[in-house]
Each structure stands twice: as structure tokens, then as C-alpha cells.
């Protein structure tokens, strides 16, 4: 009898200890959650990220984008090149037709004016990203909606070569990153642990599934300073 009584008390004590540990962990997580970087960065891009789509020269084109100002969305230039009617869709299902107001074939970046989607702009980081910096890429897929893909900065590089029309282009600053991105993620924002945009998806490395390139925030700042936000004619379809 005494043995059985002690056994039950021991079992009860173990349950109480386990419950105490669980409650302690839950309380710690709840108190720390506002400072958790992954939550901060995802919250900031959640209401800014969009899906961009349209038809260019008989081919469906799509990519991601993000709002940097009220009514102003950025994406990759090759996503909207040749697209006469640009569809901008938010993760909540709302959508509208945007007007092209900025286009740079060399940097591969475009600006779209759109209203009525209730987007909240995400800020650009004041400083460039450093090697080993981490965060999330906020991509928007037409079937799966908003998704988050982790990234890690490998290095900052200066790239040369041709633009989306296979014409010689000026050098541009890119981030080489480790991230599981796909071609349809072009134009998505790379958001750091402070919830700020450090780059925009530029290209996925061929033959290397977990390596990609992103247009540095310094190039995005310069692009925004150069455009006058007036409606532009539809640019030619890209050559890539």
C-alpha cells in the first residue's frame, strides 16, 4: 500500500513539473514574441506584398512585388515588359489594374501605380546588407498566396553584362544569397530582421537551386529618385 501511494505521488509530481516547464516556456515565448525578428519582418511585408501578372506577346508573365509608397508597387522589369494590362493582386484576393510609371531595363526594376488594394508600404533599409545577414523573402503565388522563404546573404557583388533586351547595361549592385527561390519569385522583397527591405529578387542561379541574386537597396533608392511617376507606354517584350 505504501509503495503504491509513493508511486502515485511520484507520478503526480512528475506531471506537475512537466506542466510547470510547459507553462514557463509558453510565458517566455509570449513575452518575447514582440521582439522575435522573424515575426517583425513577416508582419511588415504581409500587407505590402503583391502578385503581378499579365500577358506579354502571347505569353503569360507573373512575379511578385511590394508597396514602397501608398499606391506605388515595385517589381522586376521583365515581369511587366510587353504587358498592356498589368494585374496587381493582394494576398487577400483583392486585385486591380496598375499603370506603369517607372521602368529600368538595366537594373531590371519597374514601378506600378495602383489603388484600392489597401496596401501598407514597407520601408527600405537605410544601410546595405552585410555578409551573413538573414531574413525572409515575401513571395506571392497566384495559387498559394503569400509565402515566406528564408534567405542568407553570401556576399555583395557588382554585376556587369546585358539588360533584359540583351543590350549592354551599366554595372549594378546585387546581393548573392542562399535561398530556395524560383523563377516566378522575381520582384519579391528581401526583408531583414528589422522588417526593412534590403533587396529585390533579381534572378535565380542556373543549375543551383538554393542560390539567387537580388537587386541591392541602393539601386532601388536610385531608381525611385530617377522616375517622375508619370504613366509610361508599354515597353517591348523582353528577350530573356
pLDDT tens digit string along 69-98? 999 999 999 999 999 999 999 999 999 999
Q: pLDDT tens, 177-194?
A: 999 999 889 999 999 999
Average pLDDT over residues 186-211: 93
Average pLDDT over residues 223-229: 97
The domain ranges of the chain are 2-30, 45-119, 134-218
Average pLDDT over residues 189-216: 94
Rg (CA), the chain: 23
Confidence band of 15 (pLDDT split at 50, 70, 90): low
Which positions ≥6 away from 221 have C-beta within 8 Å? 124
Q: Are 211 and 176 in contact (CB under 8 A)?
A: yes
Indicate the average pLDDT of the chain: 87
Q: How far apart are the C-alpha atoms of 149 and 139, rounded to whole Å?
A: 8
The pLDDT of residue 142: 85
CATH fold of 45-119: Thrombin, subunit H (2.40.10)
Q: Are 179 and 213 in contact (CB under 8 A)?
A: no
CA end-to-end span of the chain: 82
The pLDDT of residue 208: 81
The pLDDT of residue 31: 37
Lowest mean pLDDT segment, chosen from 33-47, 147-161, 197-211: 33-47
The pLDDT of residue 21: 44
Residue holding cell 517583425?
A: 40
Q: How far apart are the C-alpha atoms of 129 and 192, rounded to whole Å?
A: 8
Q: How far apart are the C-alpha atoms of 191 and 45, rounded to whole Å?
A: 7
Sign of the torsion angle spanned by Cα atoms 189, 77, 181, 132? negative
Q: How far apart are the C-alpha atoms of 15 and 183, rounded to whole Å?
A: 51
Residue holding cell 503565388?
A: 141
Q: What's the DSSP call for residue 103?
A: E
Angle (CA) 75 80 85, round 5°: 120
Confidence band of 42 (pLDDT split at 50, 70, 90): confident
Whether 8 has a pLDDT exceeding 90, the answer reads no
Strand partners, 146: 140
Distance of CA 48 to the CA centre of its chain: 9
Strands 145-162 and 134-141: antiparallel
CATH fold match for the domains 45-119 and 134-218: yes
Whether 37 has a pLDDT exceeding 60, the answer reads no
Whether 41 has a pLDDT exceeding 80, the answer reads no
Whether 24 has a pLDDT exceeding 80, the answer reads no
Report phi then psi at 184, rounded to 5: -70, 0
Q: Does domain 134-218 have CATH number 3.40.50.2300?
A: no
Q: What percent of the chain has pLDDT over 90?
A: 76
Amino acid at each position: 500500500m505504501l509503495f503504491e501511494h509513493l508511486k502515485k505521488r511520484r507520478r503526480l509530481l512528475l506531471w506537475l513539473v512537466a506542466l510547470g516547464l510547459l507553462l514557463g516556456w509558453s510565458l517566455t515565448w509570449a513575452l518575447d514574441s514582440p521582439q522575435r525578428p522573424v515575426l517583425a519582418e513577416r508582419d511588415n511585408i504581409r500587407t505590402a506584398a503583391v502578385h503581378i501578372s499579365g500577358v506579354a506577346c502571347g505569353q503569360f508573365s507573373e512575379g511578385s512585388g511590394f508597396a514602397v509608397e501608398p499606391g506605388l508597387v515595385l517589381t522586376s522589369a521583365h515581369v511587366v515588359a510587353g504587358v498592356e494590362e498589368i494585374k496587381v493582386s493582394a494576398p487577400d484576393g483583392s486585385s486591380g489594374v496598375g499603370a506603369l510609371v517607372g521602368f529600368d531595363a538595366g537594373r531590371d526594376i519597374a514601378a506600378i501605380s495602383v489603388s484600392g488594394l489597401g496596401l501598407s508600404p514597407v520601408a527600405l533599409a537605410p544601410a546595405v546588407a552585410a555578409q551573413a545577414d538573414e531574413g525572409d523573402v515575401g513571395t506571392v503565388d497566384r495559387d498559394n498566396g503569400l509565402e515566406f522563404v528564408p534567405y542568407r546573404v553570401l556576399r555583395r557583388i557588382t554585376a556587369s553584362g546585358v539588360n533584359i533586351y540583351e543590350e549592354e547595361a551599366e554595372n549594378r549592385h546585387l546581393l548573392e544569397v542562399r535561398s530556395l527561390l524560383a523563377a516566378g519569385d522575381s520582384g519579391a522583397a528581401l526583408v531583414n530582421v528589422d522588417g526593412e527591405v534590403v533587396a529585390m529578387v533579381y534572378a535565380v542561379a542556373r543549375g543551383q537551386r538554393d542560390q539567387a541574386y537580388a537587386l541591392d537597396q541602393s539601386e532601388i533608392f536610385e531608381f525611385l529618385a530617377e522616375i517622375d511617376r508619370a504613366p509610361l507606354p508599354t515597353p517591348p517584350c523582353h528577350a530573356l
